[in-house]
Every structure is written in C-alpha cells, then in structure tokens.
C-alpha cells in the first residue's frame, strides 16, 4: 500500500497561497516605495531629471550625490514649530499639513465608527433573507464614480445648494448657512466616502457573534446597554480595529475631497505633495513628504498587527 505524506503533499500549494500576497506587496508596495525613497534623496540641481545619478566617478573617485535636504526641511519645520528656531508659515507648512491630515483622519474614523456600528449591528441582527439586500445598499455607492459623488456633495452643501434651499423654503433660515469649504464639508465628505469601509468589517465580525450571550446576560439581570458594552463591544474589537485601519490609513493621504470640499486653510499632506510635484516640479521634496507619510501610516499598522498577534495568542491559550 502506498502512503502519502499529507503535509508534504500540500506544502507546495501552501507556499503558493502564502507567496502570492507577498509577491503582490513586493511588486506594488515595496518597489514603488523604494523608487520614492530613491527620488527623495536625488540631487536634481538645476536639471529636471528626478532620476539623476546618485554617484559620480568623473574624476576617477566615487562620490555620493545623496541629498537629504528634503527630509531636513520637514524636520526643521517641526523644530521651528516647537520654538527651537525662528518660526514662519513657509517653515511650518509641512508639519501643519501632517497634523491637519492626522486630525481629519482621526475624526473621520470616529464619525465612521459612531455611524457605522449601528448600521453593521442592524444588518447582523436582521433576517438572513434580507441581509444581502442591506449589504448591497452599503456597497451601492461604489457603483458610482468617486469623483461624481464628491461633486454631488458640493451641490448639496453649497450656499444655493439642496440643504440651504430646503431650509429657506420652510422658513427655518433667512440667509444661507456657510457649509462648503469648511471643516463640516470636509468631515461630511470623508465620512460619507469611507463609511462602507467601516461597516463591512464590523458586519463580518458581528454576524459571527453568538447572540445567545445577550439573552444569557439579560437573564442574569444585565440591562440592554450594559450587555451591549460588556459583551457585544469586546467581541467586536477585531472589526472595530480593522474598520478603523481601513478608514484612517487612506484618509491621511486623501487628496480629492480636500481639493473639492476643503477651503484654502484645509491643507492636507496629499495636496501639498501634489503642489510640490506638479506646481513646483520638486519631485525629491514631494517624494520625501510621501515617504514620511507612509512611515506615519505604518505606525498604526504595526499597532494593529501587534493587537492581532496578541488576540491570536490569547485565543490559542
């Protein structure tokens, strides 16, 4: 009788399944990131070539042509803002852009969680026969162009837009309320766009929860809110963290919404990178800003993976 080693039989397939995501990340993340890093230390001089050589051997000796002034400018702005050097708007614009991006990303994540959690909970508690229709309603905005959806909000929030016209028609206001090109329009637009990224992970977690635990808590005397806080929320932590990462990370580098709904003072880092690359034609500075932004994004990712590792270790024990 021929015996097969199951572990050895499926080892190539397992390696292939694990290897495909790593190859994908290597090709579409690591390689572009290395290209950004290479351009960010390029000394363009008076030329326009962002891929100018990094070494020079014209005189027979090798000399580095690395230029770290772009990173120095970013961190010098941080020092200026902290009062360690002369302050000025031109010196702190990069730091202000990073802080503004993190601020909007944080509040967008919070609003998406506050709005998306009840949505996900309702879908998870709904009858299985209507869940696909409810999920379809959540994903339906993706069938429309992202740019058109943002433009639609301009028509809704404008001084002569839908909301102001409706409020003036019923006599609640006499003059239009300024909503466009403000923090309100920015947060409304970003929350609307990224809300499905919060709802879907939360739903995937909540739908697997054993709701008999809530019945047991009720039998033991716990009220609805206490049972929700002590049972539902802890069991949905994985969905909360996943949804928060899916919302926070792209929100930091958002460019379209700040350009269309944000005012002149709402400068996020994506808009600064665009200006440096296409208006100033300073590719190394733009790439340095992008590299620092990626490093800022990797920090919450590291926290997420650390939390996931702890959760898996606790589950295994």
Write down the domain spans for the chain: 93-316
Q: How far from chain centre, in Å, is Cα 198?
A: 11
Q: How confident is the model over 10-25, as pLDDT tens digits? A: 567 778 888 888 899 8
61-66: long-range pairs with CB below 8 Å, 24+: 66/41
Q: Which of 276, 123, 259, 113 is nearest to 186 (CA)?
A: 259
Pairwise CA distance, residues 268 & 262, whole Å: 9
Q: How far apart are CA 111 and CA 117, in angstroms?
A: 10
- Mind listing the pLDDT tens digit for each residue in 192-206? 999 999 999 999 999
CATH architecture label of 93-316: Orthogonal Bundle (1.10)
Residue 5: pLDDT above 60? no
Taking only the tens place, the pLDDT of each residue in 146-201 is 889 999 999 899 888 889 999 999 988 888 888 888 888 999 999 999 999 999 99
Which pTM was predicted?
0.82
- Buried-exposed string 266-294: b where 16+ CB fall within 10 A, e elsewhere: bbbbbbbbebbbeeeebbbbbbbbbbbbb
CA distance linking residue 109 with residue 4, whole number of Å: 51
DSSP state of 59: T
pLDDT at 204: 92
Going by pLDDT thresholds of 50, 70 and 90, the confidence category of residue 91 is: very low
Q: Is the confidence at residue 312, as pLDDT, over 80?
A: no
As a whole number of angstroms, the distance between CA 112 and CA 216 comes to 30
The end-to-end CA distance of the chain, in Å, is: 39
- How many CB atoms are closer than 10 A to CB 255? 14
Conformation bin of residue 281: beta by default, left when phi > 0, alpha when psi is -120 to 50: left
Residue 88 pLDDT greater than 50, yes or no = no
């Amino acid at each position: 009788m021929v015996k097969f080693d199951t572990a050895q039989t499926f080892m190539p397939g397992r390696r292939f399944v694990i290897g495909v995501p790593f190859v994908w990340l290597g090709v579409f993340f690591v390689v572009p990131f290395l290209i950004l890093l290479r351009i960010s230390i390029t000394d363009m001089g008076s030329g326009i070539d962002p891929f100018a050589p990094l070494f020079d051997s014209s005189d027979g000796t090798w000399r580095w042509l690395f230029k770290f002034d772009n990173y120095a400018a970013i961190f010098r702005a941080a020092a200026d803002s902290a009062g360690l050097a002369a302050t000025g708007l031109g010196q702190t614009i990069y730091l202000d852009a990073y802080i503004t991006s993190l601020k909007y990303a944080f509040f967008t994540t919070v609003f998406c969680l506050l709005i998306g959690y009840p949505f996900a909970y309702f879908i998870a508690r709904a009858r299985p026969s209507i869940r696909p229709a409810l999920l379809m309603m959540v994903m339906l905005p993706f069938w429309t162009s992202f740019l058109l959806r943002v433009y639609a909000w301009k028509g809704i929030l404008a001084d002569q837009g839908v909301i102001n016209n409706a409020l003036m028609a019923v006599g609640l206001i006499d003059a239009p309320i300024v909503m466009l090109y403000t923090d309100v329009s920015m947060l409304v637009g970003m929350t609307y766009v990224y809300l499905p990224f919060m709802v879907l992970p939360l739903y995937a977690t909540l739908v697997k929860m054993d709701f008999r635990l809530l019945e047991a808590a009720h039998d033991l005397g716990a009220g609805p809110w206490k049972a929700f806080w002590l049972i539902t929320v802890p069991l949905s932590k994985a969905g909360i963290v996943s949804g928060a990462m899916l919302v926070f990370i792209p929100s930091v580098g958002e460019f379209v919404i700040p350009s269309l709904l944000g005012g002149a003072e709402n400068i996020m880092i994506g808009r600064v990178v665009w200006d440096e690359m296409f208006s100033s034609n300073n590719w190394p500075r733009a790439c340095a800003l992008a590299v620092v932004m990626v490093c800022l994004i990797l920090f919450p990712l590291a926290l997420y993976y650390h939390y996931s590792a702890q959760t898996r270790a606790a589950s295994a024990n």
